[in-house]
Amino acid sequence: MTELYAFLLTLFAGLSTGIGGLIAFHRKAKSKVFLTFSLGFSAGVMIYVSFVEILPKATDSLTEILGSVKLGNALGIFTFFIGIGFIALIDWLIPEEQNPHEIPDSNLSDKDRDKKSLMRMGVFSALAIAIHNFPEGLATFVAAMDNIALGISIAIAIALHNIPEGIAVAVPIYQATESKKKAFMYAFVSGLAEPIGAIIGYFLLRAIFNDMTFGLVFAFVAGIMVYISLDELLPTAEKYGKHHVSILGVIIGMGLMALSLILFI
C-alpha cells in the first residue's frame, strides 16, 4: 500500500505540468509575481528538506551500516555531490535556450518568431522538462516510501515548480498551432516522465533495497534537489525582477516545511 501512495504522489507532482498547460491560456496566470513566488517557494522547501531531513537520514543510515560516523558522513556527502554532478550533466546536455525553467515571454507573437520556431521551442522545452522530471520522480517516490508526510511535502514543492514548466511548454505551442488541445497535451505528457522515473527506479532498486541503498539514494536525491533549486528555480525567479517576492517565497517554503517536519514527522 505504501508503494501505491508513493506512486500516486509522484503522479500528482508530475501531472501538475498539465495544470500549467491549462492556466497558460489565462493572462493573469503568467504574472511575474505568481511565477516568482511559486519558484521561490519550491526552492525553499526543497533546500530545507534536503539539508535538514534527507541528507541527515542518508548519513545516519550509512553510518549504521558502516559502523563509523566518519565513513557514513563521508560516503553520504560524496554521494550528495554525485547527485549534483548527475543533474548538472543533464543540464549541460540540454541547450541553454531550451532550459525548461526559461518561461517564454507571454507577448511572443509571429512578428517576433515564426510558427515553426515557436513549435520547435515548445517541443524541445517539453523534452527538456521530461528529462528533468525523471530524477524528480525518483526523489518524490523514495521520500514517500520512507515517510508519507515527507513525500507529500516534496510532491507539493515539485508540483508548484512544475506548473510554470507546463506554461513554458504550452505558450509557444499554442501560439504556433492556435490549438489549446495540442498545447495542453504536450505539457501534460512532459510531466509523465515523473511517475515513469518512479516506476523504473522502484523496479531497479527493489531487489537490492536495504539500509545501504536507502542511504545512497537519499543522499543522491538531496544533491539533485539542491542543484535544481540553486541553479534553476532561484535564478529564474530572480529574472522577473521581483527579488523580495522570490525571497519571501523561499522563507515561507522553508517555514512551512519546518512546521510540517515538526507536526508530522
Residue ranges per domain, the chain?
Answer: 8-264
CB burial of residue 8 (10 Å; 0-12, 13-18, 19+): middle
Q: Which residue has the cell 518512479?
A: 198
Residue 76 has a pLDDT of: 95
CA atoms within 13 A on the CB side of 219: 24
Q: Does the pLDDT value for residue 171 go beyond 90?
A: no
Q: Which residue has the cell 542518508?
A: 58
Averaged pLDDT of the chain: 78
Residue 107 has a pLDDT of: 52
Q: Does the pLDDT value for residue 113 go beyond 50?
A: no
Q: Does the pLDDT value for residue 118 go beyond 70?
A: no
Write the single-letter amino acid at 168: A
What are the tens digits of pLDDT across the range 22-62?
876 766 545 677 767 877 887 887 888 889 888 998 899 89
Q: Does the pLDDT value for residue 128 go beyond 70?
A: no
**Across residues 57-72, what is the average pLDDT?**
92
Residue 209 has a pLDDT of: 66
Quick check: 241 and 30 in contact, CB under 8 A? no
pTM of the model: 0.65
CB burial of residue 108 (10 Å; 0-12, 13-18, 19+): middle
CB burial of residue 95 (10 Å; 0-12, 13-18, 19+): exposed
What are the tens digits of pLDDT across the range 131-160?
667 767 877 887 787 778 878 877 887 787
Q: Which of 65-69, 75-79, 121-125, 185-189 has the lowest mean pLDDT?
A: 121-125
Greatest pairwise CA separation for the chain in angstroms: 65
What are the tens digits of pLDDT across the range 210-234?
778 878 888 988 888 888 888 877 8
**Could you tell me which of 206, 213, 178, 234 has the C-alpha nearest to residue 6?**
206
